[in-house]
Structures are given as structure tokens and as C-alpha cells.
Structure 1
Amino acid sequence: MTGTVWHCHIAVSLDGKIARPDGSFDWLEGYPAEEFGIGAFLAGVDGILMGRQTYEAIRRMGDWPYPGKRTIVMTHRPLPDPPEGVEARSGDLGAVAAGFEQGGCRRVWIEGGSQVIQGMIAARRFDVLEMALIPIVLGDGIPLFRPGTPELHLRLASCTQRSRGALHLVYEVAHPA
């Protein structure tokens, strides 16, 4: 077992969506990320793992918000003009994870999307699920857990009510006895 913690910190709708069908997340307006501890969380993150659609959504927002954080984007296509510290990778997520571990990363943010999350659960590199549960039903959208995601048992570590009826939930993976 490594000393690396694999931590997914994500916002999700009541019906389990992480984005609209087009990848947008305008439905998060009015729910400041600071209320869900994102600043303290980011301060403790050494690396970030994300998929191409997540990367593209972040790039559309403007300046790269994670300077100094080693970031791997899972994609089969090159990244035009990536920010410093960002690299494109494809292939086995377990091998990518091993690279973070060998590089000394203590906490890696599994930022998304659902395909990367599913792959990290399958690779048994998933320790914490921290969620901003937003009181909205999107109906259509990108699910947090896609069909085929491996079974995962979780233990509630904390639940805090936030503004406008949102919840800040922290689950830890419950390893079978």
C-alpha cells in the first residue's frame, strides 16, 4: 500500500449528475466552492488527474487555476499549448497512478470526469469521495457513476449543511473486514 491518498472532490446534483449533457456546470452558480473547502483541499493536493472533457471545460473558463500542481489529462489526443506542469497521457490508469506515487505525491485529486473516476475505482486507487451535493435535479447530464462502475463501499466521515440547502459530504472507502 502506498502513502498516496486518492481523493475525488466533486459537485453532484441530487440525481447524481456532475455536468449537463454538454459538459457545462452553470447550475453550480450560487454555491461558492469555498463553502465546500476547496481552498484548503487544493492546498493539500500534490497532483491532479482528469479526463479530456474536464480539462477542456476548465480551459474555457480562462487562466489555469492549478499552477504548480502536476496534472495529467487522460486523452488520446495531444493537448495544444498546455499550461506548465500539464501533460497528456493515455493507456492504463494503474500505470499513471503508479507514476504519481513514484513521484512522491501524497494526495492526488481525481477531478473527473466519470470515466476517470470509474477507472480509478477499478484500479483500486480511490480513497475519499468528497461531494458538494446540490439540491437540483438536472434530469439529463453526465452521471458521477457510469454503468459498469465497480461496486464500492463507503463510510460517511462527515456531513455538513451549507447555504441554500446544499450538503458537504465526505465519504471514505470502507474496506471489507
Structure 2
Amino acid sequence: MGKLILYIATSLDGYVARSSGEVDWLFTDQDYGYEAFYETCDRLLMGRNTYEQIQSWGDYPYPDKQGFVFSQTIQQDHDDNVTFVSSDLVSFVNNLKNQDGKDIWLVGGAAIAKTCLENNLVDKFILSIHPIILGEGIALFPPPLPTLNLKLEDLQVFNTGLVQITYQVDLATPE
């Protein structure tokens, strides 16, 4: 059974992309632990907008992973590595988490992440916080969201100023 992990980059003020969807501000000068994380997953989930943005960059970058794209508008595409899903997200993710396999990467975007958070589906957060304030854009955690207690699992600081924080969801009932 795999855990659902939100592994995502964000600006210091909590945006995952500019209002236009551009992510030209992301650091690409080093790995930032991506390869090690990538090896822990065998499935990934994303929304249609994230999928279309990834496709615009060229070849699909995750051919060795089982990919699922949630969309109400795209039913099928030419990419053999991706299954398009229009069914209930919560039921689908719960079913996927109960299958044998490695962890599941919640790639994005913000809408699918919000639904997963609202339904307590995310088990772990790995946030790469870039030292930039965008001022506006697509929010990582648009309100409203339920309260969710987290436990710090890891913290890494890189020479570029990027900070990567790993939180485990704390299922203990707060006092």
C-alpha cells in the first residue's frame, strides 16, 4: 500500500505558478532530491492543467511510472503512459492507495491537491520553497481547507536559498 505524497514547489508566499500558469521562476540548477524521491514512487496523479503544461515542455517525463490524469474534458490522448480518469477522485485515490505498490506522487495542480486535502487523502508533504515572492498566482492551498496537523520529518536548506520541508500527516487527535 502506497502513501499519497504531495511533492511540489512553491514560492515563499505560497504560489505554485504565476497567474498565467508559468513556472519560469523554479530553480533548475540542481536536483534538490528529486531523483531520490522519484524512485520511491511508481504511480502519479495530476490534473488536466498540470498534464497539459507538462506536455507543452516536450516528451512526457515520466514514462516509467503509471500516470493518472483527472479531467472532465479529456477522455483519451495519444500518451500510452497516462490513463485519463473522470470518475470520483476520492474513491479512485482511496482504491489506488490500497493497492500494492510504492508511494503515489501527487504532482498537482492546486485543484486536485485541494480535493485530496479536503478528504484527508494526503499522507505526506514535501514542499520545495523557493526564495521568491510572486505576489499573485495559483495558490498552493486556496482556502477554505480543513485543519490538518503535521509532524516535521525533514528539513533541508540548499545553497541557493531553497528550503525543502517534509511533513508527515499527524493522525493523532489534537488535545
The two structures have a TM-score, normalised by structure 2, of: 0.91
Deviations 1:51-87, CA, capped at 9 Å, x for gaps: 1111011001101100121111111112563422201
Counterpart in the other structure of 1:175: 171
Q: 1:126 aligns with which of 122, 125, 131?
A: 122
Is 1:50 aligned to 2:46, yes or no? yes
Change in Cα spacing, 1:101 to 1:175, as seen in structure 2 (3 Å) is closer
Q: Is the 8 A contact 1:93 1:123 kept in 2?
A: no
Identity of aligned residues (%): 32
> 2:157 is aligned with what amino acid?
Q
CA distance in 2, matches of 1:128, 1:160: 16
Q: In the TM superposition, what whole-angstrom CA distance separates every residue of 1:69-121 from its partner, at most 9, and x where no partner exists? A: 11111111125634222011123212211342354233100111111111112
Amino acid at match of 2:49: Q
Aligned to 1:149: 145
What are the residue-to-residue correspondences of 1:8-157 with 2, within 5 Å?
Answer: 8-32=6-30, 34-35=31-32, 37-78=33-74, 81-157=77-153
- SS of match in other structure, 1:53: helix
Give the structure with the larger helix fraction. Answer: 1
Q: Is the 8 A contact 1:17 1:142 kept in 2?
A: yes
Change (3 A) 1:30 1:67: closer
Where 1:26 maps in the other structure, the secondary structure is coil
The reply to whether residue 158 of structure 1 matches residue 158 of structure 2 is no
Question: What do you get for the CA RMSD once the two structures are aligned?
Answer: 1.6
SS at the partner of 1:67?
Answer: coil
Aligned-partner SS, 2:25: helix
121-130 or 136-145: which moved more? 121-130
The answer as to whether partners of 2:154 and 2:167 remain within 8 angstroms in 1 is: yes
For residue 46 of structure 1, give the secondary structure of its aligned residue in structure 2.
strand
Q: Moved runs in structure 1, 4+ residues, more than 4 A?
A: none
SS in 2 for 1:163: coil
- Alpha-carbon separation, structure 2, partners of 1:81 and 1:144: 27
In the alignment, is the contact (CA less than 8 A) between 2:110 and 2:139 conserved in 1? yes
Secondary structure of 2:20's counterpart equals coil
Deviation at 1:152, TM superposition (A): 1.4
When the two structures are aligned, how many residues end up with a matched partner?
173
Query: Structure 1 regions of 5+ residues with no counterpart?
Result: none
Which secondary structure does the structure 2 equivalent of 1:164 belong to?
coil
Structure 2 SS opposite 1:50:
strand
Distance 1:93 1:20, change over 3 A: same
